[in-house]
């Protein structure tokens, strides 16, 4: 084999290795983007002309997100927001339309306190998608219902769903569900309002023995009362005849 052939083979091998390495890096970056953005990855890919264009958009979101100064909530702030949300849900029964507007404002305040921009909705979505992508569909649905509510086109059930959607992002930003088991339109906590457990009629109180294990009653033989003749015989002495020969 001539030196020229050896050089050509080495160059081909290097090109193949470089191509495989490039494909491997692309696959790794794609896997990382899918893992980080979740359903938002598929959404952006569907909206863009190509997958490469969508992935560039997502990487640009990561770059802009890294420039933010995010602030974790203090325990006092977390408790304050949780109490405000619980109070908001209680008001839903009497004023659902106003509650949806209040929910949007409360979520906006929480977003701002965490350090995210609160100007343009699309820009806000782009920044939130980096760490809260799995609740963005809820936020979009809530935002859409709020716009219909402003036009007077949303019904009560839609408004209730809007509050549920807002709560998904609110809990994600808060780090915990503010009202874990309560749904707008319901009063008391369903978990706390369970019907008392009904006792089986055959089940006795722990302190009471089961009928089958009770000590059998002792039956005393019935004491027969002596009849009148016997009583008279005992009470009246019998006159025996005297033996005349004993005198």
Q: Using one digit for the tens of pLDDT, what is the confidence trace for 68-113?
A: 999 999 999 999 999 999 999 999 999 999 999 999 999 999 999 9
Model pLDDT, residue 53: 92
Quote the percentage of the chain above a pLDDT of 90.
48
Q: Which residue has the higher pLDDT, 223 or 93?
A: 93
When pLDDT is averaged across residues 128-141 and rounded to a whole number, the result is: 92
Quote the Cα angle for 23-28-30, to 5°. Answer: 95
> What is the pLDDT confidence band of residue 38, given thresholds at 50, 70 and 90?
confident
> What is the pLDDT confidence band of residue 18, given thresholds at 50, 70 and 90?
low
Q: Which residue has the higher pLDDT, 103 or 177?
A: 103
Model pLDDT, residue 7: 73
When pLDDT is averaged across residues 170-184 and rounded to a whole number, the result is: 72
Model pLDDT, residue 140: 94
The average confidence (pLDDT) of the chain is 75
When pLDDT is averaged across residues 119-126 and rounded to a whole number, the result is: 89
Rounded CA gap, 40 and 38, in Å?
5
Model pLDDT, residue 78: 92
> What is the pLDDT confidence band of residue 148, given thresholds at 50, 70 and 90?
very high
Place of tokens 């619980």: 86
């Amino acid at each position: 084999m001539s030196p020229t052939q050896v050089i050509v083979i080495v160059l081909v091998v290097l090109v193949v290795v470089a191509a495989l390495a490039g494909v491997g890096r692309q696959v790794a970056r794609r896997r990382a983007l899918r893992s980080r953005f979740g359903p938002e990855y598929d959404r952006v890919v569907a909206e863009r002309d190509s997958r490469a264009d969508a992935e560039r958009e997502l990487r640009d979101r990561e770059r802009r997100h890294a420039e933010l100064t995010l602030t974790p909530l203090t325990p006092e702030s977390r408790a304050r927001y949780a109490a405000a949300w619980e109070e908001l849900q209680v008001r839903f029964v009497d004023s659902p339309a106003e509650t949806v507007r209040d929910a949007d404002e409360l979520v906006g305040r929480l977003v701002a306190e965490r350090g995210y921009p609160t100007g343009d909705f699309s820009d806000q979505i782009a920044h939130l998608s980096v760490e809260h992508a799995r609740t963005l569909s809820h936020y979009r649905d809530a935002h859409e219902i709020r716009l219909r509510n402003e036009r007077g086109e949303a019904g009560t059930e839609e408004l209730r769903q809007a509050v549920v959607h807002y709560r998904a992002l609110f809990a994600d930003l808060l780090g915990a569900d503010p009202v874990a088991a309560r749904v707008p339109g319901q009063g008391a906590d369903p978990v706390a309002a369970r019907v008392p457990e009904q006792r089986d009629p055959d089940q006795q109180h722990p302190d009471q023995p089961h009928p089958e294990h009770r000590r059998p009653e002792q039956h005393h033989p019935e004491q027969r009362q002596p009849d009148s003749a016997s009583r008279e015989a005992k009470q009246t002495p019998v006159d025996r005849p005297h033996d005349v020969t004993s005198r």
